[in-house]
Structure 1
Amino acid sequence: MDHDSPKTRWERRAEMPLTVASMTFLGSYAALVLAPRPGTPWDDLWLSLLFACWALFAADYAVRWTLSGQGPGFVRAHLLDTLVLILPLLRPLRIVRLYEAMEHRRGLPRLPLYARVIVYSGISTLLMGFTGALAVYQQERDAPASQMKNFGDAVWWACSTLSTVGYGDIVPVTTGGRIIAAAMMAGGLALLGAVTGSFSSWLLQVFSREEDKERPPGGTPGV
């Protein structure tokens, strides 16, 4: 793979602007949900920022599609990018990639694989929990039978859903809320599996090293 291809150069240059746009998108959406001011210039500003950020995401997707030379095959090869374009609330997860890109540019040593999985999964969980709480609260707050009276209820629901505990004290009652809940359940299971699997592998590696240290050279430990 050519590491200095036009597509690679574009992705490297666009990384920081797209990350800033991702966080701007999330902040604007949070302002619309948590402090709505219908019919005021503030809401118009947040909506304008949301549209501008999404247009930037779409432009980046189109440029990478063109530079890849894959044609329609680009969509199949980049299903996650396509999903993020359709659901831009997932875009802030780019911050995980930004952290690794900054390490690479500064020449810093990368964290061990197991540590990276745990750190990235933790960051992804926080971002997914916050965006999920915002999205489900927007769907549920005006529903007649909703149990989510405030954003704190939505955060509590997101925590119990992502952790796969699911107390059942607060449940979505709208169709949109239930779709979001299903997506968060799947995401929670995937993140939990990644963290526990990596942690278990790390423990096995540590125990194996300890056994190797205890074993006498050229033989087996005595009974």
Structure 2
Amino acid sequence: MDDVSRQARWEQRTEVPLAFVSLVFLAMYAVLVLAQGLPDAWRDLCTAVMCLAWSMFVVDYGVRWRLSGLRLRFVPAHKLDTVVLVLPLMRPLRMVKLYEAVQRRHGEPRLSLYARVITYAGVTTVLLGFACSLAVYDQERGAPGTQMHSFGDALWWACATLTTVGYGDVVPVTAGGRAIAVGLMACGLALLGAVTGSFSSWLLQVFSREGDEEPPGR
């Protein structure tokens, strides 16, 4: 129990700072991808900051592994944390952990369950879509037969993929780009399902409450 409480205290203290570090990581990656004429010195600086940020993620993962006392069972028990460690651009998926940390600091949540689900899904969609746009543009630009000639094309592709529309006018042609597409499709389906299910549940609750409040005989 003591190990669990120590792990909870560590997560409470580090989740918000690490969320800021993850935004710095994303910003540095965006500079490297979009600023093509950046001097080598600045590119080296951005790369160094990204490596420093990733090393902080590694330290956090190692500390939580040590405090959990699960040994090798920690990896399957924390699949999302492991994925985020290997693919730092996926850190937007940890928005739930960030919200829980803020909630513990400030007491009870002010938003209803449905509002929290929709807010989480919305923020996650924006961050994840931007991160995947950067990653797929980095893979696709300059590739033979590429359809992503600008970052705007990558953003359009990410929006169509996340919303499960899939126009097909812009598609990745490289193996790396298609791998990113598969991950984004899965995340888009999960987020869309969460929002749709939450909204449907809220509507049913509202209609049920209105039905209970109707006077008899109507």
Q: Same-fold call, TM > 0.5?
A: yes
What TM-score comes out, normalization by structure 1 length? 0.92
Query: How far 1:13 moved relative to its partner?
Result: 1.4
Cα distance in 2 for partners of 1:200, 1:130 equals 27
Provide the alpha-carbon RMSD of the alignment.
1.8
Q: Give 1:204-223 correspondences, 5 Å limit.
A: 204-216=204-216, 221-222=217-218
Query: 2:19 — aligned with what?
Result: 19
Equivalent AA in structure 1 for residue 106 of structure 2:
R
Q: Provide the C-alpha distance between the structure 1 equivalents of 2:92 and 2:16, rounded to a whole number of angstroms.
A: 12
Is there any run of 5+ residues in structure 2 with no aligned partner, and where? none
Would you say the 8 A contact 1:65–1:71 is kept in 2?
Answer: yes
Asked whether the equivalents of residues 147 and 170 of structure 1 are also in contact (C-alpha less than 8 Å), the reply is yes
For residues 26 and 161 of structure 2, the distance between their equivalents in structure 1, rounded to whole angstroms, comes to: 21
Q: What CA deviation, in whole Å up to 9, does each residue of 1:162-218 have, x standing for no partner?
A: 0000001001000000011111111111111100011000000000000000043xx
Gaps of 5+ in 1: none
Q: Which residue number in structure 2 is paired with residue 184 of structure 1?
A: 184
Q: Which residue of 1 aligns with 2:163?
A: 163
Secondary structure of the structure 1 residue equivalent to 2:60: helix
The structural deviation recorded for 1:4 is 7.2
Inter-partner Cα distance in structure 2 for 1:150 and 1:187: 24
Is the CA contact 1:36–1:43 (under 8 Å) kept in the aligned structure 2?
no
Contact 1:132-1:180 within 8 A present in 2 as well: yes
Q: Is the 8 A contact 1:89 1:131 kept in 2?
A: yes
Q: How many Å separate the matches in 2 of 1:175 and 1:191?
A: 24
1:200 and 1:167, CA in 2 relative to 1: closer, same or farther beyond 3 A? Answer: same
The structure with the larger Rg is 1
Q: Determine the C-alpha separation between the residues in 1 that align with 2:96 and 2:9.
A: 19
Partner of 1:146: 146
Alignment of 1:66-81 (within 5 A): 66-81=66-81
Tell me, yes or no, if structure 1 residue 136 matches structure 2 residue 160: no
Higher helix share: 2
Aligned to 2:71, the other structure's residue is in SS state coil
Aligned residue identity for 2:66: T
Distance 2:9 2:159 in 1: 38
- Whether 1:56 and 2:56 are equivalent positions in the alignment is yes
User: Which residue identity does 1:177 align to in structure 2?
Assistant: G
1:72–1:103 distance in 2 versus 1, CA, 3 Å: closer
The corresponding residue for 2:36 is 36
Percent identity reads 61
**TM-score normalised by structure 2 residue count:** 0.94
Distance 2:69 2:82 in 1: 16
1:198 is matched by which residue type in structure 2? S
| Shift, 1:103, TM fit | 4.0
Residue 5 of structure 1 aligns to a residue whose secondary structure is helix
- The separation in 1 between residues aligned to 2:6 and 2:167, in whole angstroms, is 50
| Cα distance between partner residues in 2 of 1:6 and 1:93 | 24
User: Offset of 1:113 from its aligned partner?
Assistant: 1.0
Asked if the contact 1:25–1:53 (Cα under 8 Å) also holds between the matched residues in 2, the reply is: yes
